[in-house]
Amino acid sequence: MEFPIDESFAGWVWKHHKPYIITNVEEETQFPRDAGHLWREHLVKSYCLLPLMSAHRRLGHSGFR
């Protein structure tokens, strides 16, 4: 599933270079399409996304659930 950068947690982490921690997926409202059915379908309760960077550029993110 793909989302525009401004409509996803991964996009937010990539854009801001900061971690994003979701302690309760059921209460998350910032990116409802991203957290919605996909995480609930897989019974994800919490999620942590960390930015991956080198000294010269952004590489992406790593997520833990």
Q: Is the per-residue pLDDT at 47 higher than 90? A: no
Could you tell me the pTM of the whole model? 0.76
Q: Tell me: the pLDDT tens digits for 6-24?
A: 888 888 998 999 999 989 8
CATH H-level superfamily of 5-64 = GAF domain (3.30.450.40)
Domain boundaries of the chain, sorted by first residue:
5-64
Q: Is 34 exposed, middle or buried (0-12, 13-18, 19+ CB in 10 A)?
A: middle
Q: Where is average pLDDT lowest: 1-5, 16-20, 31-35, 49-53?
A: 31-35
CA 57, CA 48: separation in Å to the nearest integer? 21
Element (H, E) at 33: helix 32-35
